């Protein structure tokens, strides 16, 4: 492939990536070929990516190189926290609509990759990562748009080229500690006008639902499946994925149309760039016993985020938001673990640890406060990520269809 790219002279536009997945949710890690971002801070560079280089996001996320639910991570080697020594590397997260502020599943994948790469052009700080011989783990501090996230990566020694090299140990879970997670709105009755209702809610004669808003690096609207009129929860008894899509899309549009609601409940105390509704997460506490591991309680979630993108993983940043919510409800205590499943991990029936089947495990480890005095909790999350391949993507100048990607949609009337 390297020879083919060089042979036909597309090297100037070639972008190199490493592909991974976490419970089936893709993380396309961009390691080479992306132009330098302008700005001093990570959020300034995020704005530059949106305004000046968004065609590259579309090229890498959309068809034919990606798909509607593709997810990416752009390594940013220089940020304000890398310069002040509180982070080892920065990252921007990419999806079908733009750029998210935090992503748990991608953070787990990045942890493994950043330990495994020994290429200083990809990760200049790799040689300085601390290694703990007692726990056999390496620590990486990743500067995400929401803040610095510390990732602990199980590490083993492998012989490469006659040398002992530290690499990630896939038999053990990666973990990270979150930014402060908190609840901004607990058990709120949201009126659903006729313009924003959906068939399953109408069948019950309901015109409102109970929601909560919580932050885990991004703002999430959390709602029980049965609140939406799905009496069997996240099950397929006469229900299609499109039914959940329709309901969550209506809820998100309704919330985003209410300027006062957004100002009050979707406002981050420190950063305006973090003040928006990222996702609607449908929650179901009815987990079949065959899917439960031996100890922690469990719940299932179906996350629609960005432009109704569906997360295959249990959604790591939302797991942090859900821990904060459960603690606010009084149904979960500090240092009490809980397993979070997605539809993918739920389908993997088997014995042994649920982490091996794609579940995430999360628990609150520290109480803290935000700058405005709001109570929050730092959450630790464990999960596993896996490699799927590497690619070099090129774009021919005369390729009007695929040069900057496309999404398959019906034509406008």
The region, left, alpha or beta by phi > 0 then psi within -120 to 50, assigned to residue 118 is alpha
Distance CA 297, CA 295 (A): 7
Task: Give the per-residue pLDDT at 290.
Answer: 59
For tokens 């590259």, the residue is 56
The active-site residue, picked from 103, 146, 221, 303, is 103
| Distance from chain centroid for Cα 74 | 13
Question: Phi/psi of residue 43, each to 5°?
Answer: -70, -35
Q: CB within 8 A of 214, min separation 6: which ones?
A: 181, 182, 183, 184, 220, 222, 321, 322, 324, 325
Number of Cβ within 10 Å of residue 52's Cβ equals 12
Confidence (pLDDT) at 1: 42
Pairing of strands 72-76, 25-32: parallel
The string of DSSP codes covering 299-367 is EEEEEEETTTEE-SS--HHHHHHHHHHHHHHTSS-TT--EEEE-HHHHT---SS-GGGGT-EEEEEEEE
The parts of the chain modelled with pLDDT lower than 70 are 1-12, 289-295, 351, 413
For 112, residues 6+ apart whose C-beta sits below 8 A from its C-beta are: 20, 153, 168, 170, 174, 385, 387
Burial class (CB in 10 A: 0-12, 13-18, 19+), 54: middle
- The answer to whether 106 touches 93, Cβ cutoff 8 Å, is yes
- Number of helices (H), then strands (E), in the chain: 10, 20
| Residues across the chain | 413
Backbone angles phi, psi at 83, to 5 degrees: -65, -40
262 annotated active-site: no
Closest by Cα among 70, 20, 25, 66 to 344: 25
Best CA proximity match to 147, nearest among 90, 77, 213: 90
d(CA 110, CA 103): 10
Longest dimension (CA), the chain: 70
């Amino acid at each position: 492939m390297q020879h083919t790219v060089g042979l036909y002279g597309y090297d100037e536009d070639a972008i190199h990536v490493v592909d991974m997945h976490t419970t089936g949710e893709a993380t396309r890690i961009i390691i080479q070929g992306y132009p330098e971002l302008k700005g001093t801070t990570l959020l300034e560079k995020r704005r530059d990516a949106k305004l000046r280089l968004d065609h590259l996001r579309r090229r890498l996320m959309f068809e034919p190189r990606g798909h509607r639910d593709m997810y990416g991570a752009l390594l940013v080697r220089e940020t304000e926290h890398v310069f002040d020594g509180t982070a080892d590397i920065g990252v921007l997260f990419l999806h079908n609509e733009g750029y998210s502020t935090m992503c748990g599943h991608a953070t787990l994948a990045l942890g493994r990759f950043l330990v495994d790469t020994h290429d200083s052009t990809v990760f200049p700080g790799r040689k300085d990562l601390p290694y703990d011989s007692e726990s056999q783990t390496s620590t990486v501090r990743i500067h995400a748009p929401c803040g610095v996230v510390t990732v602990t990566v199980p590490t083993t020694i492998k012989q490469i080229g006659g040398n002992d090299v530290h690499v990630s140990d896939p038999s053990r879970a990666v973990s990270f500690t979150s930014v402060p997670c908190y609840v901004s709105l607990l058990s709120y009755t949201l009126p659903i006008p006729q313009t924003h209702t959906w068939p399953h809610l109408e069948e019950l004669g309901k015109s409102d639902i109970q929601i909560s808003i919580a932050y885990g690096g991004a703002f999430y609207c959390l709602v029980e499946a049965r609140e939406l009129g799905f009496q069997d929860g996240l099950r397929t008894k006469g229900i299609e994925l499109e039914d959940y899509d329709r309901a969550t899309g209506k809820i998100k549009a309704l919330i985003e149309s209410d300027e006062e609601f957004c100002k009050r409940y979707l406002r981050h105390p420190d950063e305006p760039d973090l003040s928006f509704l990222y996702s609607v997460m449908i929650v179901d506490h009815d987990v079949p016993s065959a899917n439960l591991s031996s100890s922690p309680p469990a719940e299932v979630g179906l996350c629609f985020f960005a432009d109704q993108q569906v997360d295959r993983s249990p959604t790591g940043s939302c797991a942090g938001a859900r821990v904060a919510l459960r603690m606010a409800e009084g149904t979960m205590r500090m240092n009490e673990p809980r397993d979070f499943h997605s539809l993918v991990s739920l389908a993997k029936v088997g014995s042994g640890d649920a982490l091996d089947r794609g579940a995430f495990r999360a628990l609150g480890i520290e109480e803290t406060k935000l700058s405005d005095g709001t109570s929050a909790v730092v959450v630790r999350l464990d999960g596993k990520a896996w490699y799927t391949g590497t690619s070099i993507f090129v774009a021919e100048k005369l390729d009007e269809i695929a040069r900057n990607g496309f999404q398959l949609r019906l034509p406008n009337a």
